[in-house]
Amino acid sequence: MIERVGRDATIICVVMIALAALWRRDLAAPLGVAAGGLLIALAFWAIQGTVDALIRARSGGETPPKKAGFQLVKFFTRYVMLAFAAYVMMMRLRVDPVAMLMGVSSLGAAAAVEAVRGLRWRRSP
């Protein structure tokens, strides 16, 4: 399911990049959507890696509890780097923040698509 959400988020982001290119007719909007998509892809990767490591630690896998604490430090360090990347994109590269928000929202849209799939799957006999 996680792979489907990631794939759907990528597809939705690409569609939004194309729509932004058609709507604004310049390069700023599609680049902003792509930048937001990159940020949410990095965040998705950070969350997925941390959750996988914590599940392995709780289920008695090969990850000891000390390493689980290190995974949390890695998680928050990734988010600091993500915040820095967003700052650089908006303040230094002058990426359109609204377009960037559109790219970031691709993961939420993909989660909504997956929720609708789940509801449809339960109702079918």
**Tens-digit pLDDT profile for residues 6-34:** 899 999 999 999 999 998 788 888 999 99
Cβ contacts of 116 within 8 Å, gap of 6 or more = none
d(CA 4, CA 1): 5
Give burial (CB, 10 Å; 0-12/13-18/19+) of 12.
buried
Report CA-CA distances (Å) from 60 to 46, 51, 63. 22, 14, 7
Q: What is the pLDDT of residue 17?
A: 93
> Pseudo-torsion of CA 71, 42, 80, 78, nearest 10°?
20
Task: Convert the pLDDT of each residue in 34-79 to its tens digit.
Answer: 999 999 998 888 777 777 777 777 776 555 556 667 767 877 888 8
Q: What is the pLDDT of residue 14?
A: 95
